[in-house]
Amino acid sequence: MNTHRRQGIERGSEGAPLSSERSNSSEGGAAGAPLRVELDLTGATALVTGAGRGIGRSIALALAEAGADVAVNDFADEAACAAVVAEVEAFGRKGLVVMGDVSDEEQVNAMVERAEKDLGPLSVVVNNAGITRDNVAMMMDSADFDAVIATHLRGTFLVSKAAARRMFRRRTGCIINLSSVVGRRGNAGQANYAAAKAGIIGLTKSLAKELGARGVRVNAIAPGYIDTPMTQALPEETRQMIVDATPLRSIGTTDDVAAAVVYLASPAARFVTGVVLPVDGGLGI
């Protein structure tokens, strides 16, 4: 049995399908017309970068469970990607490992081409790959600044560019970029990461304006602190401070972020572009 769990949006406890319908006589829509919330991704083909573990893995699995075939990218850990592909296939979907460095244009173009050749036209691209090289700015090595900008900002640009050229021609598709609460608020010790994540917000909004007329949507998600190896490395005292500062009083799960990705990728979000959706328990308020 696949133990990967997801929260709330797609299947109720009685196994309801990936859509919900209710009578909607008073809020929006024509009186008495049903309101359909369509989260089914059957027929979609997705590429998720940095998907061998953490948030990216959960996103790949959530997309597969919602009905998408998924190309799983990572930089170094091919075995981890193969394991994620096996989990994608356990949902009855097609999976594909596409190794490559998102900051390298040639590798990016090759992996997008390979994904389309093996799985078909990409309709969903999730820019999730990321690294941290934390230090206070005065002590930060410029190579660590460059590496973080290259992976997050240049990587998101290159993958989006390769995908957008294809989606633009086909007049359909959606791109979802991982920003962060830190990109909206800044963070001591993370000037490189905050700058990259803020840059991703500008990139997202610009691409949304450039591509919207051709039916291509571009959105970002700004997670707060999510329980992954990246945050498990924080001292317990720091984790507690974060929990105390979060209105919902917890650290998020990778499934919380994956649920937002499924929503933004789905027909339910057909009129949503250029947004930065916080998934942060209220930390960014």
Point out the residues that are catalytic: 193
Token readout for 53 is 């573990």
Task: Return d(Cα 88, Cα 96) in angstroms, integer.
Answer: 9
Longest CA–CA span in the chain (Å) reads 62
Angle at 71 between CA 68 and CA 72, to 5 degrees: 120
Give the residue, chosen from 45, 180, 204, 219, that forms a contact with ligand NAP under the rule CB under 6 A: 180
Binding mask 107-146 for ligand NAP (x = CB under 6 A): ---------------------xxxx---------------
Question: Is 49 among the residues that bind ligand NAP (CB under 6 A)?
Answer: yes
Task: Give 80 or 167: the residue with its C-beta nearer to ligand NAP.
Answer: 80
Question: Is 284 among the residues that bind ligand NAP (CB under 6 A)?
Answer: no
Restricting to residues 54-83, name those near ligand NAP by CB under 6 A. Answer: 54-56, 73-77
Minimum CB distance to ligand NAP, residue 138 (Å): 23
Restricting to residues 218-257, name those near ligand NAP by CB under 6 A. Answer: 223, 225-226, 228-231
Token readout for 266 is 């789905």
Task: Give 9 or 220: the residue with its C-beta nearer to ligand NAP.
Answer: 220
Question: Is 160 among the residues that bind ligand NAP (CB under 6 A)?
Answer: no
Task: Classify residue 100 as left (phi > 0), alpha (psi -120 to 50) or beta.
Answer: left
Sign of the torsion angle spanned by Cα atoms 157, 9, 52, 82: negative
Angle between helix 78-90 and helix 54-65 axes, rounded to 10 deg: 20
* Measured torsion, CA atoms of residues 85, 96, 263, 24, in degrees rounded to the nearest 10: -90
Give the residue, chosen from 53, 93, 154, 217, that forms a contact with ligand NAP under the rule CB under 6 A: 53
Q: If binding means CB under 6 A, how many residues of this protein chain bind ligand NAP? A: 30
Task: Give 18 or 199: the residue with its C-beta nearer to ligand NAP.
Answer: 199
Task: Give 130 or 199: the residue with its C-beta nearer to ligand NAP.
Answer: 130
- Of 19-27, 99-107, 137-145, 167-175, the segment contacting ligand NAP by CB under 6 A is 99-107
Helix then strand count (H, E) for the chain reads 10, 9
Question: Is 151 among the residues that bind ligand NAP (CB under 6 A)?
Answer: yes
Task: Give 102 or 167: the residue with its C-beta nearer to ligand NAP.
Answer: 102
Backbone dihedral angles phi then psi of residue 279, each to the nearest 5 degrees? -125, 80
Task: Give 39 or 283: the residue with its C-beta nearer to ligand NAP.
Answer: 283
- Cβ atoms 204, 276 nearer than 8 A: yes
**CA dist 22 → 25, 35, 161, 223 (Å):** 9, 6, 39, 30
Binding site for ligand NAP (CB under 6 A): 49-50, 52-56, 73-77, 101-103, 128-131, 151, 155, 178, 180, 223, 225-226, 228-231
